[in-house]
Structures are given as structure tokens and as C-alpha cells.
Chain A
Amino acid sequence: WGFVVTRHVMRQLTTCCLPQQEPSLYTVKAVLILDNDGERLYAKYYDDTYPTVKEQKAFEKNIFNKTHRTDSEIALLEGLTVVYKSNIDLYFYVIGSSHENELMLMSVLNCLFDSLSQMLRKNVEKRALLENMEGLFLAVDEIVDGGVILESDPQQVVHRVALRGDDVPLTEQTVTQVLQSAKEQIKWSLLR
């Protein structure tokens, strides 16, 4: 009587048996954005963990069911670490192996969210996002390349995405933001 081995089981086994992974820059397995019905608005998978669209959608469904009612930021699902964040009607996910440094994944998630927040002028909601899909595509492309974290600073990302001149916002809001972050930095340097 043998065992049936699903890919899922295998992943769990490898997670149990190989505590030491090869050091590598490949950190992110997927970046997802779902709406409040759990429908995919954006999904980028960087390796073969879920090779077919069917498996991907099943995974997204599972992830949404397990996370949309809580605001707990992090979970372990199907042997993978999932960090997430929601805002109004959007759910942002960054997925990595269960061995990955959770804080690295978190920095990707924060960078994505903050970049979009600037690009959408703090209007991080489905409607605004859909009107700026090209901005989203370009931003993710600047943050993660083939699973490698390319940039983690939202300012840099927004700068590089450089939407058309008349769209680049230097409104009051961004000025206050700059001031705010300067204040923060001063506060921290005083505390230290």
C-alpha cells in the first residue's frame, strides 16, 4: 500500500526536510491583487508552484477565503508564506516560500501599496486602480523582476514608472507627505 503524493505534500516535505535552502535572490513567488469578491484583478506568478491557470485560481480562492475576513497581515497557506493587506475593496498579497524572511516579503508588499497609494493619490480602491492599470503593471514590473526584488523604495518606483508629465503629481498632498516623512526621521534621530 503506497502513498499518493501530491505536489502539495511534496512541498510540505521539502519544507520539513531541507531547513537550509540555497541562498538566492529569488524571493517572491507571486504578487496578487484581488477584489472584494475574490476575483483576480492582477496576478503575477514567478515560478512553477502553480503552473496552470486552474491551479492558480484555486489557490487564489483558497487564499481569499482564508484571509478576507481577518486583517491579520500574515498567514501560512499550502506551505507558503502569504503576507497581505487590504484597503476598501482591494486585497494585496505577496507570496513566498515558508523559509523566506517574512520581513522581506513585507517590504515588497509595503512598497507595492505605498507606490500605488502615491500614484493613485491615496485613492487605493478598485475603481481608481482599474483606471490606472498600466500604472499598476509598470509599478509591479519595477518592484519585482522574475521573483527578484528589484526595488523596495516606493519613491524610486513612482519615479521610474514616470507616468506622463501631466500625470506626475506634485500636489499639496505629496508635499505634506514629504514633510511628514522628514518629521518622522527627525523624531527617530532624536530618540536614538
Chain B
Amino acid sequence: MIKKFDKKDEESGSGSNPFQHLEKSAVLQEARIFNETPINPRRCLHILTKIIYLLNQGEHFGTTEATEAFFAMTRLFQSNDQTLRRMCYLTIKEMANISEDVIIVTSSLTKDMTGKEDVYRGPAIRALCRITDTTMLQAIERYMKQAIVDKVPSVSSSALVSSLHMVKMSYDVVKRWVNEAQEAASSDNIMVQYHALGLLYHLRKNDRLAVSKMLNKFTKSGLKSPFAYCMLIRIASRLLEETEGGHDSPLFDFIESCLRNKHEMVVYEAASAIVHMPNCTARELAPAVSVLQLFCSSPKAALRYAAVRTLNKVAMKHPSAVTACNLDLENLITDSNRSIATLAITTLLKTGSESSVDRLMKQISSFVSEISDEFKVVVVQAISALCQKYPRKHSVMMNFLSNMLRDDGGFEYKRAIVDCIIGIIEENPESKETGLAHLCEFIEDCEHTVLATKILHLLGREGPRTPSPSKYIRFIFNRVVLESEAVRAAAVSALAKFGAQNDDLLPSVLVLMQRCMMDSDDEVRDRATFYMNVLQQKQKALNAAYIFNGLSVSIPGLEKSLHQYTLEPSEKPFDMKTVPLATTPITEQKTEMAPVASSKLPEKLAPSRQDIYQEQLAAIPEFQGLGPLFKSSEPVQLTEAETEYVVRCIKHTFANHMVFQFDCTNTLNDQLLQKVVVQMEPSEAYEVVQYVPAASLPYSQPGSCYCLVRLPEDDPTAVSCTFSCTMKYLVRDCDPNTGEPDDDGYDDEYVLEDLEVTVADHIQKVLKPNFAAAWEEVGDEFEKEETFALSSVRTLDEAVGNIISFLGMQPCERSDKVPENKNSHVLFLAGVFRGGHDVLVRSRLALADGVTMQVTVRSGEETVVDVILASVG
């Protein structure tokens, strides 16, 4: 009665929401009635509801007030009102992190969890685990084990899910409950089955063998729960990926069989798993695609959405596999759910023919403003893929993109458009001027610093080399006047490039620079002063070194070297050549544009692969004093796949040495290998200095051993060498189940494939954004030229590819892309030779009968030029 009365009271005051004007302090005041005897369950329930409501609204509770309310609440356990008790559990969970001493309810909860009231037991377990830590968990371990195998599903499920939450904190305790979880997995209840499977997997996920056994068991016995099936499919596809299992594996068969499951959820999960598998053939995809096709006409929006989203993914890699669904996708173009319509259109853009492009683009522009940014990005990605496929359509696309650029939208969306336009400019030189014009217009009113600086950088690189560079100056200088520091600084750098490239613009650029030198920001002033001084020298070499092509060293490496230098003061000036080079940023010349938003940032965030190797090698005492790591190669496999031992080698090049790192994996579970070394026999005058063995190599745990080799000093041109490699080790047989090895062992060896060291191992790629300037900078003092005939090569593309991979140098000015239908081509390559000498290669190719190649090499060091030419010949 009182509850009803209360409500009326509040309703008259605050409209339809009785909770609208709740005051925390008033509610806490009310909570005092928790202490009254006898307990009034209805009123107390209402107050608890208010407290949880407030917490739910994000109201902040101080520790003291929360603790006070919590302790008052504990008294309510005396009441036997079911709903009230359940609300107490909720309050405990909600307050577990804000109140102190919540563990005082442990005994009450333990009593409820083991009591007779089934309605209490499940929720009590979950509340109890919420406030329990590892030590207390051991005290209730016995009850947990019993609860997991309890015949009441809600109790068993609660215990399993709570155990899963506890795994993170108390793995060692929970893993003792595996047998109980195993028993629960054979329960008839579908949710219990699902939860047991999830817990079992979490406990075993690091033991591939156990996971595989578990999969085997459940896929054979069959489960009733569709959720559990989805989980099984995920586990199976993960295992397939990890073991690089072929698609003839029983796991793949299992996933495929799930395409015929009676639950749509399971069918979809299986189809999605197959679609996401790497290296699926069109034939393997076909059954998955055809179930997705069926889903396209489902009355359920979620299912249509799921299907078309997955088909969209398939279309990225296998457009032809999706063409069969084109008709179904056409029907979805007008779907009232715009997300579905967008996905359908972008999928069609990937699978359809060139003729349908205009129609689809028109369709999509009719509702592009209605869809969320996420899907706008999907549209932009589709456009960018399209531009690669149909370069002739770039003017239509460019128009569309510039309209999108003017619309409202968030950062990711705008970035995707800008990336796409930049991609088009780089692919199609004839679109450069229109593209730059659109971007100039965009930065006139652009709130995203990152994009503005990116575009300014691009303008600096491309603008000076257009027919009328002067028209960009205005856009750039406007930035200096109007924008934030970062943008102003970028604008100054761009201006400098115009001055350096175009003599007739130089006087005006100098005037503008003069103005920038009065900027309020340090960085802007510094840049302006620096460029001003460089430009005034009017020397091509200086311009090239300091304006066009910046530093190519690794920034963390530079930091480390400078720190080292300050620790050991010396008379010698700091030598930039001792700083490790940056591994070339792939972003500059990336040709694959498909996932626009992906893969650009990760490299910037994580330390580069080479920085990691540098750290690892520096930690090995034998490799002290080798100087900075110059280059690390990609791993080379020295064994066939599926052999007893898997060995791959990474070649690390230093100034006068090489370190060969052998990553070995022992795939025999009845052997333990010890003192593993890879013995190397060089074919040339290379000298093996030292081996660093891997102490022990247990089953399936990779380990590394190393070999240090000195490069021949007397003959600097001897850069290539072949090593024959043999792995030597001590074998100790062991019990496959326990891993316990025998006491005795015997020596054995295993012959590996030969390892080649080539000229590419001595050269690090360096990108010169302005190759011509760099060419002038190095000068022709040691220039050499030779002509070769490549008789076995049939196309220019092939020749370009061969040269790049052979020399291991960085193609510049996008010269790795040979325009179609051309008979000649010039390839520009840049790199740094071991020891820190810049080396540039210009290679003119002509296609006649085979390919004729004229190679011109420049470097600051004569031997380097000789090495290159000698290795080509």
C-alpha cells in the first residue's frame, strides 16, 4: 500500500517518471528504514530499486555513503521476501567496487548458495564470486565444484559463468575444476552446455593438443545448443588458422557440415568462419556463399545485414564468387535499412561490370547523407577499389569524392576520402591537378589538423612539379595565416619545397618565409629560419639534402644513439651514419588501397621489427661491440613444411659482421633437444667467429640459436656467399605425455637447406621523395654505367620486379609501376649500403627481343658502385 501511495505522490510532482527527480541524499536518508524492525519488504524493495536506479544513471557514490548504505542493506537478509533478497544480490554486485568491506556478506551468500531455495542459489553464486578474491575462492572451492555439476540448470550455469569470470584472477584455482566442467558439458540443458564449453576452452586454450581433443569429442558427440555450436566453430577455425591446417582437415569438414545445421545462427557462424579463412578457394567458398545468398531474402533485417556484410567481405578478395548473388543484392539496394542498402551497393560495385558503375553511384548518392560514418567509409573504400579496377572512371569518382568531402562527417570518414583521392592522384597522373585542387579547397575549411598537415605535405611534394605551381602558394600561405601551430609548420615546409624547386618562385617564397620568421610559435619560426638560410645558398645539393629528402634514420634509433653519445663524451662529432636506418615506410608507395583505414597506423605505434631485433641481439653478450644493427632480412625457411624440425633463418647485417638467427621448433613430442647449434660452411672468404647455441628445445616451444660471421675485409666487393647449414644437437627421448626426458641422450644432426647471402642483405631501402634532387646531391664523382641484356625476361614489369628484389632497394617516384603499353621505362632505386653510404640506381629499360637494361649507379663511395655493378653482371 505504501509503495502505491509513494508513487502517486511522486507522479503528481514529476510527470510520468517516478524516478526523474531522485535526490541521492534523500534516497540514502530513506535507506535508514532498513534498520527498522520488523522489516517492511515493499518499502525496502522500493528504496533498493531507487539506489540501483541512481547507480545506473551514473550517479557518483562516495565510499563512505556507499559503505553506509551497503551495511544497512545487509540487514535485509533477515527478510524472506524473494524479490527483496534478489535485489540485495544486485545491490551487492553494483556496490562491489564502491563500498568497503563488501566481504562481510560472504557467509550470508554462501548460505543462500548451498540452501534449499533454487531461486536464490544461482544469483547468490554470481554475487558471491563478484566479491571474492583468490584466497577466499579456495574457501568456497568445494561449493563451487558441487554447484557446477548441480542438476538445476540456473545453478550450474551461474557457477560456470562465474568461474569463467574468475579465470583471469585465479587461474590456478579454477583449473582444478576441469573435471566438473567436463561433466557439465554433457548436460541436457543447452545453456549449461554452452557455458561449460566456454569455460573448458578458456582453461585449455594454451594447450593446442587438449583443445584439439576437446573439439574432436564434441564435434563427434554433437551438441544441442546453437550457442555452443557457434563457439565450437570459432574454436575450430582458430585452431585451423594456428596450425595452418589444410582445408582437407576434419575441422574444416566440421565447419562445413554446420552449414546444414537447423539454426540460422549456426549456419551463419559457419559461413562467416569459412569466408574469413585465409586462402580459401572459390570452390570451398561456394557453399558458404550460397547460404548467405538465401539469407539475403530473409524477412529478418539482422540476417540480411549479416549476410550482405559477409558477402561484401568475400567480394573484396573473390569478386567472382559473389557474382551469383548479384540479383539478390540488386533487390537489397532499396532496402529500408540503409546499412543493408549501402553494403549491397558497395558489394555490387566490386562484382559488377564497368557499365553498372554510373547507375550504382547515382543510387548511392541519393542517400549517402542518411547513413552513418562507418558506412560512408565503406562506400569510400569501394570507390577506391573501383578506381584501381577501372582507371578510366576516375573522373566520375573524383567528382563524387569531392562532393562527399564537402559534406559533414567525422575524422575517419574525411580521412578515408583524402586517402582515396591521394590514391587516385598517385595512380593516374592526369588526375593530379583536379585532385590537388579539390584537396586545396578542402584544407581551406578543415578542422582536422592531421588531414591538413597530410595534404600540405602532399602539396609540397607534388605541387612544385605541376605545370603551374604558383597557384598552390596562395592556399598554402593562407594556412600560415589562419591555422594552428602544427598546420603552420607543415605549411612552411611545403612552401620551402616550392622555393627549392622553382627558381622563378624563389624570391616570393623568400618574402613569405621572412614573414613566417615572425611567427609566435617556436617550431614555425625555427623551420622558417632554417629553410630561409638553406634557400638563400641556392645550392642544389643542399636543397636536396635538407628540403626535399629529410632524415631517413629510425627515430628511436636516433634517440638511443644521441643518448649514448652524451654518456660517452668524445672529441669526435656525432656521426649520423652510426644511427640505424628507418625501415622504409610502406605508406608512401603503397599500391594496394583496398582497406583504406587499416594498416597505416600500426607501424607507427609499435616499435619496428628491426628495433625489436636490435634489442634482442644487444642482450646477448657475444654480440656486444658489433655496432648498430644495419638490416634484418625477412625470415628464410631452411626446412620443408611438416618436417620433424622447423628452422627458419633471419640474417642480421652489421657494419663488418653478420649474425644469423635460427628460429627452430621441435615438432616431435617424444624428444627434447639440447645444445642446439646450426653449423655453417661458407663458400667464400667469410669467417665463422662464434656459435651461440639454444640450451634446450622442448616439444613445440620455439627457440633461437645464433651464428656470428665476420665479413671479408680484404675484398669489400665479395658480398654474396652461400652457406651450407647443418643443425647439430643432443637428443634426449622423453615421455610424450609428461614431457619427462630420459637421463641419457645422444648426438645427432639434421641437414638444412643452403642459405644465400646476396647483395640485397647489404643494402637498406631508403625512400627519396624527390629522386632527382637526391641524384644531384650525390653527384657524379663515382658514377658508373653499364648495359646488360636480360634475355630471359619477357616484360618490363617482370624486369622491374626482378631488379627490385635482387638489389633490395627502394623504388622511388612510383617508378616500380610500369605504365601499360610502353616499350621503355626508367626505374629509380635508392638505398643505403652497409657502412652508411647512400647509393642510387637509375635503370633505363627497353623492351625489344627480351629486355635491355642500362644501369647507372651513383654513390659517395667508389667500392659501393663497383659492388652493385659487379653483382648485377
B595 CB contacts on chain A under 8 angstroms? 16
Contact A23 B231 (CB under 8 A): yes
B337 contact from A16, A70, A133, A134, Cβ within 8 A: A70
Contact B83 A102 (CB under 8 A): no
Say yes or no for B264: interface residue by CB 8 A criterion. yes
Tell me the nearest residue of chain B to A16, going by C-beta. B598
The CA of A44 and the CA of B56, in the complex, are separated in Å by: 7
Say yes or no for A175: interface residue by CB 8 A criterion. no
Instruction: Check A20/B238 contact, CB under 8 A, given A5-B601, A76-B372.
Output: yes
Tell me the nearest residue of chain B to A69, going by C-beta. B370
Q: Which of B301-309, B425-433, B434-442, B649-657 contacts A (4 or more CB under 8 A)?
A: B301-309
A17 contact from B165, B268, B486, B598, Cβ within 8 A: B598
Say yes or no for A79: interface residue by CB 8 A criterion. yes
Contact A134 B56 (CB under 8 A): no
Say yes or no for B775: interface residue by CB 8 A criterion. no
A4 CB contacts on chain B under 8 angstroms? 449-450
Contact A101 B265 (CB under 8 A): yes
Tell me the nearest residue of chain A to B313, going by C-beta. A19
Say yes or no for B201: interface residue by CB 8 A criterion. yes
The CA of A126 and the CA of B16, in the complex, are separated in Å by: 8
Contact A23 B201 (CB under 8 A): yes
A74 contact from B7, B82, B235, B339, Cβ within 8 A: B339
The CA of A95 and the CA of B718, in the complex, are separated in Å by: 62
Q: How distant is A38 from chain B, measured CB to nearest CB, in Å?
A: 14
Tell me the nearest residue of chain A to B230, going by C-beta. A101
Contact B450 A9 (CB under 8 A): no
Say yes or no for B161: interface residue by CB 8 A criterion. yes
B372 CB contacts on chain A under 8 angstroms? 66, 75-77
B56 CB contacts on chain A under 8 angstroms? 40, 42-44
Tell me the nearest residue of chain B to A78, going by C-beta. B374
A24 CB contacts on chain B under 8 angstroms? 198, 202
The CA of A23 and the CA of B232, in the complex, are separated in Å by: 9
A9 CB contacts on chain B under 8 angstroms? 411-412, 601
> Contact flags (1/0) for A149-175 with B, using CB distance below 8 Å?
111100010001111100000000000
Say yes or no for B122: interface residue by CB 8 A criterion. yes
The CA of A9 and the CA of B451, in the complex, are separated in Å by: 14
Contact A160 B154 (CB under 8 A): yes
The range of chain A's interface size is 35 or more
B375 CB contacts on chain A under 8 angstroms? 76
Instruction: Check A102/B454 contact, CB under 8 A, given A134-B87, A150-B157, A151-B157.
Output: no
Q: Which of B45-53, B176-184, B472-480, B571-579 contacts A (4 or more CB under 8 A)?
A: B45-53
Contact A130 B16 (CB under 8 A): yes
Tell me the nearest residue of chain B to A102, going by C-beta. B306
The range of chain B's interface size is 35 or more
Instruction: Check A73/B337 contact, CB under 8 A, given A9-B601, A22-B238, A23-B235.
Output: yes
A74 CB contacts on chain B under 8 angstroms? 301-302, 305, 337, 339
Residues of chain A in range 113-135 having any CB-CB distance to chain B below 8 Å: 126-127, 130-131, 133-134
The CA of A72 and the CA of B154, in the complex, are separated in Å by: 34
Q: How distant is A166 from chain B, measured CB to nearest CB, in Å?
A: 11
B254 CB contacts on chain A under 8 angstroms? none
The CA of A138 and the CA of B82, in the complex, are separated in Å by: 12
A-B contact count (CB 8 A): 188
Say yes or no for A83: interface residue by CB 8 A criterion. yes
Contact A25 B164 (CB under 8 A): yes
Q: How distant is A64 from chain B, measured CB to nearest CB, in Å?
A: 13
Contact A79 B374 (CB under 8 A): yes
B112 CB contacts on chain A under 8 angstroms? none
Interface of B is mostly: helix
The CA of A21 and the CA of B238, in the complex, are separated in Å by: 8
Contact B303 A8 (CB under 8 A): no
Contact A133 B49 (CB under 8 A): yes
The CA of A6 and the CA of B449, in the complex, are separated in Å by: 14
Q: How distant is A51 from chain B, measured CB to nearest CB, in Å?
A: 12
A145 CB contacts on chain B under 8 angstroms? 126, 158, 161-162, 165
Q: How distant is B462 from chain A, measured CB to nearest CB, in Å?
A: 16
A88 CB contacts on chain B under 8 angstroms? none
The CA of A18 and the CA of B174, in the complex, are separated in Å by: 29
Residues of chain B in range 603-620 having any CB-CB distance to chain A below 8 Å: 604-605
Instruction: Check A25/B161 contact, CB under 8 A, given A102-B305, A130-B18.
Output: yes
Residues of chain A in range 66-114 having any CB-CB distance to chain B below 8 Å: 66, 70-79, 83, 101-107
The CA of A3 and the CA of B195, in the complex, are separated in Å by: 42
B86 CB contacts on chain A under 8 angstroms? 138, 161
The CA of A102 and the CA of B269, in the complex, are separated in Å by: 9
Say yes or no for B818: interface residue by CB 8 A criterion. no
> Contact flags (1/0) for A18-61 with B, using CB distance below 8 Å?
01111111000000000000001011100000000100110000
> Contact flags (1/0) for B218-237 with A, using CB distance below 8 Å?
00000000010011001101
Q: How distant is B327 from chain A, measured CB to nearest CB, in Å?
A: 22
Q: How distant is B397 from chain A, measured CB to nearest CB, in Å?
A: 22
Contact A150 B272 (CB under 8 A): no
Say yes or no for B58: interface residue by CB 8 A criterion. yes
B338 CB contacts on chain A under 8 angstroms? 70, 72
The CA of A192 and the CA of B156, in the complex, are separated in Å by: 34
> Contact flags (1/0) for B679-707 with A, using CB distance below 8 Å?
00000000000000000000000000000
Contact B122 A160 (CB under 8 A): yes
Contact B337 A72 (CB under 8 A): yes
Say yes or no for B580: interface residue by CB 8 A criterion. no
Tell me the nearest residue of chain A to B236, going by C-beta. A23
> Contact flags (1/0) for B106-126 with A, using CB distance below 8 Å?
000000000000010011001
Instruction: Check A133/B19 contact, CB under 8 A, given A25-B198, A152-B191, A160-B154.
Output: yes
The CA of A3 and the CA of B415, in the complex, are separated in Å by: 11
B123 CB contacts on chain A under 8 angstroms? 141-142
Say yes or no for B771: interface residue by CB 8 A criterion. no
A101 CB contacts on chain B under 8 angstroms? 230, 265, 268-269, 272, 306
Contacts from A to B (Cβ < 8 Å): 1-6, 8-9, 12-13, 16-17, 19-25, 40, 42-44, 53, 56-57, 66, 70-79, 83, 101-107, 126-127, 130-131, 133-134, 137-138, 141-142, 145-146, 148-152, 156, 160-164
28 contacts between A and B (CB under 8 A): A4-B450, A8-B412, A9-B412, A16-B598, A16-B599, A20-B237, A22-B205, A22-B238, A25-B195, A42-B56, A70-B338, A73-B300, A101-B230, A101-B306, A105-B302, A126-B17, A130-B19, A133-B53, A137-B90, A138-B87, A141-B123, A142-B123, A145-B162, A148-B195, A149-B194, A150-B157, A150-B161, A160-B154
Nearest first, the 9 A-B pairs at minimum CB distance are A16-B598, A53-B58, A72-B337, A23-B234, A25-B198, A73-B301, A103-B265, A102-B306, A1-B453
Known: A105-B302, A149-B227, A162-B83. 17 other contacts (CB 8 A): A3-B450, A4-B450, A13-B597, A16-B595, A16-B598, A17-B598, A19-B276, A20-B238, A74-B337, A76-B375, A101-B306, A102-B268, A104-B265, A127-B16, A130-B17, A134-B48, A150-B158
